[in-house]
């Protein structure tokens, strides 16, 4: 099963900057198990619209290209890892 985390963010988003190091840790810890795709909503508004993203940061977990989880806003690392691995 292929797992992907979509990270919807923008350079001007304070909470996005707070979450950046958390995502880096997750990327290292789950290397080979999850692909993280960072989507700048200013540069890619159509993708944000496609997934119904209304606020950022938004994290969407896809397994085999189907949405299985979503988290909006700042979240503890453990919560995101649980969403990814469950």
For position 45, which CATH number holds?
3.40.30.10
At residue 7, does pLDDT exceed 80? yes
What is the span of the domain harbouring residue 67?
3-85
What is the count of structural domains for the chain? 1
Give the C-alpha separation, 41 to 48, whole Å.
6
Rounded mean pLDDT of the chain?
Answer: 95
Length of the chain as a residue count: 86
Listed in order, strand segments (DSSP E) in the chain are 3-9, 35-40, 58-63, 66-72
At residue 86, does pLDDT exceed 90? no
Supply the residues annotated as catalytic.
13, 16
At residue 9, does pLDDT exceed 80? yes
For residue range 25-60, what is the model confidence (pLDDT) as tens digits?
999 999 999 999 999 999 999 999 999 999 999 999
Half-sphere exposure of 79 (CA within 13 A, CB side): 11
Report DSSP state, residue 42: T
Phi, psi of 20 (to 5 degrees): -55, -50
């Amino acid at each position: 099963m292929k797992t992907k985390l979509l990270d919807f963010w923008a350079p001007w988003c304070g909470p996005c900057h707070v979450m950046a190091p958390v995502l880096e840790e997750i990327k290292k810890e789950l290397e080979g198990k999850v692909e993280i795709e960072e989507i700048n909503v200013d540069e890619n508004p159509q993708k944000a619209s496609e997934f119904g993203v209304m606020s950022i940061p938004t994290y969407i977990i896809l397994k085999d290209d189907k949405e299985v989880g979503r988290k909006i806003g700042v979240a503890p690392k453990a919560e995101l890892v649980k969403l990814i691995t469950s």
